[in-house]
């Protein structure tokens, strides 16, 4: 009797996660259309995308790259959030927990101080942001390697490294002239509009390849969340797996930061909500979080453009407000 019931239950679960993924996909498409059309009709968008870019060059030259970046950055932050929450065994971890944002901000502030854009033009901020993020990751890696990547020491070192970098940033701010400080501050709050369109073709494969690799580690993430001792008993090699996943997620987060500054809460709130809807199993959670993260960031970006029209808000402010409120509701409802 129960094996029949089991089967029925399994079917229901499968249908449930397929339903959720379909809903996410539909939401994602709607948000993409909104982001592209910006008030105009869909046929107008389609025409200017595929038939003749002359009709409305803004769609192809401004809104399309911006929407693409929101898609990849949002999806990447979603999936990296899932990976880090499992490795660190903490549902409140997010891609910036390991101090990546501090290092990236320092890189950008440094670039503004020494006027690097004179030599590197558009590449200055993305490059310095990425290098700053990687520098803090390297420091965490070297500090926690001897402790076998123990979650608590990783989080602790992450906070410390981030604080140290922040102090350097404030030091630079104090000697920086206000105009340059304003640019760095805007970048800090997350900004999808400033990335140059020429960089996008290079970014797309760099975003996609590590994310696709991470999608295949669902079963390992399930097991790693039980802690490294139990993971080893179940046949996962924790140090090796930590190294792979830590590296992949750091690179992707570093790329996100370099492309669009620090966009908070996506990697925290998206996995958190989806875990409640489709369950904790990582194989489907990874995929759903990519779609969910992409949807959340595109929608936030649309809101950031509409809400104080014609003034644009930094998208990081919108994600932080939406994410913060949602998290608050989720936590209050649970307790």
**By C-beta, is 8 or 163 nearer to other proteins?**
8
**By C-beta, is 51 or 234 nearer to other proteins?**
234
Tell me how crowded residue 194 is: count the other CB atoms within 10 A of its CB: 15
**By C-beta, is 191 or 222 nearer to other proteins?**
222
Considering the rule CB under 8 A, would residue 216 count as an interface residue with other proteins? Answer: yes
Is the Cβ–Cβ distance between 262 and 96 less than 8 Å?
Answer: yes
Considering the rule CB under 8 A, would residue 227 count as an interface residue with other proteins? Answer: yes
- Considering only residues 19, 29, 234, 308, which one is a binding residue for other proteins as defined by CB under 8 A? 234
Considering the rule CB under 8 A, would residue 110 count as an interface residue with other proteins? Answer: no
Considering the rule CB under 8 A, would residue 223 count as an interface residue with other proteins? Answer: yes
Per DSSP, helices labelled H in 62-145 are: 64-87, 100-114, 117-120, 124-145
- Considering only residues 113, 279, 324, 330, which one is a binding residue for other proteins as defined by CB under 8 A? 279
Considering the rule CB under 8 A, would residue 327 count as an interface residue with other proteins? Answer: no
User: Which has the closest alpha carbon to 34: 2, 9, 71?
Assistant: 71
The least CB distance from residue 225 to other proteins, in Å, is: 6
Considering the rule CB under 8 A, would residue 6 count as an interface residue with other proteins? Answer: yes
**By C-beta, is 203 or 246 nearer to other proteins?**
246
Considering the rule CB under 8 A, would residue 222 count as an interface residue with other proteins? Answer: yes
DSSP 51: I
Look at the chain and count its residues.
Answer: 335
CB burial of 244-280 (b: ≥16 within 10 Å; e: otherwise) equals ebbebbbbbbbbbbbbbbbbbbbbbbbbbbbbeebee
CA distances from 331 to 91, 177, 326 (A): 12, 42, 9
Considering the rule CB under 8 A, would residue 180 count as an interface residue with other proteins? Answer: no
**By C-beta, is 47 or 89 nearer to other proteins?**
89
Identify the three-state secondary structure at position 311.
strand
Considering the rule CB under 8 A, would residue 14 count as an interface residue with other proteins? Answer: no
How many Å apart are CA 42 and CA 51, to the nearest integer?
Answer: 13
Residue 308: phi and psi, rounded to 5, are -120, 30
Residue span 72-101 as binding mask against other proteins, x where in contact by CB under 8 A, dash where not: -------------xx--xxx----------
The least CB distance from residue 86 to other proteins, in Å, is: 8
User: Which has the closest alpha carbon to 130: 35, 23, 257, 292?
Assistant: 257
Is the Cβ–Cβ distance between 122 and 199 less than 8 Å?
Answer: yes
Provide the binding-site residues for other proteins, judged by CB under 8 A. Answer: 2-3, 5-6, 9-10, 13, 85-86, 89-91, 216, 219, 222-223, 225-227, 229-230, 232-237, 275, 279-281, 283
């Amino acid at each position: 009797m129960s094996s029949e019931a089991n089967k029925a239950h399994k079917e229901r679960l499968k249908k449930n996660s397929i339903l959720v993924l379909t809903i996410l996909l539909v939401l994602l498409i709607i948000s993409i259309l909104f982001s592209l059309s910006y008030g105009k009709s869909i046929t107008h968008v389609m025409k200017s995308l595929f038939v003749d870019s002359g009709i409305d060059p803004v769609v192809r030259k401004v809104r399309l790259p911006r929407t693409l970046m929101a898609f990849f950055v949002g999806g990447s932050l979603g999936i990296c959030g899932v990976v880090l929450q499992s490795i660190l065994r903490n549902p409140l971890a997010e891609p910036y927990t390991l101090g990546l944002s501090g290092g990236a901000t320092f890189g950008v502030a440094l670039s503004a101080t020494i006027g690097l854009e004179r030599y590197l033009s558009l590449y200055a901020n993305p490059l310095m942001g990425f290098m700053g993020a990687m520098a803090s990751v390297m420091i965490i890696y070297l500090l926690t390697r001897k402790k076998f990547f123990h979650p608590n020491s990783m989080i602790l070192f992450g906070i410390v490294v981030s604080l140290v970098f922040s102090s350097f940033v404030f030091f630079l701010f104090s000697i920086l002239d206000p105009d340059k400080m304003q640019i760095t501050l805007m970048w800090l709050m997350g900004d999808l509009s400033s990335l140059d369109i020429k960089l996008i073709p290079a970014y797309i494969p760099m975003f996609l390849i590590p994310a696709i690799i991470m999608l295949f580690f669902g079963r390992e993430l399930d097991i790693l969340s039980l802690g490294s001792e139990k993971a080893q008993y179940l046949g996962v090699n924790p140090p090796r797996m930590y190294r792979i996943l830590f590296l992949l997620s750091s690179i992707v987060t570093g790329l996100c930061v370099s492309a669009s500054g620090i966009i908070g809460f996506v990697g925290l709130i998206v996995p958190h909500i989806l875990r409640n809807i489709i369950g904790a199993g990582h194989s489907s959670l990874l995929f759903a979080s990519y779609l969910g993260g992409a949807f959340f960031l595109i929608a936030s970006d649309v809101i950031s453009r509409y809400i104080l029209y014609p003034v644009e808000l930094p998208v990081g402010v919108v994600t932080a407000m939406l994410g913060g409120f949602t998290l608050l509701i989720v936590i209050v409802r649970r307790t």
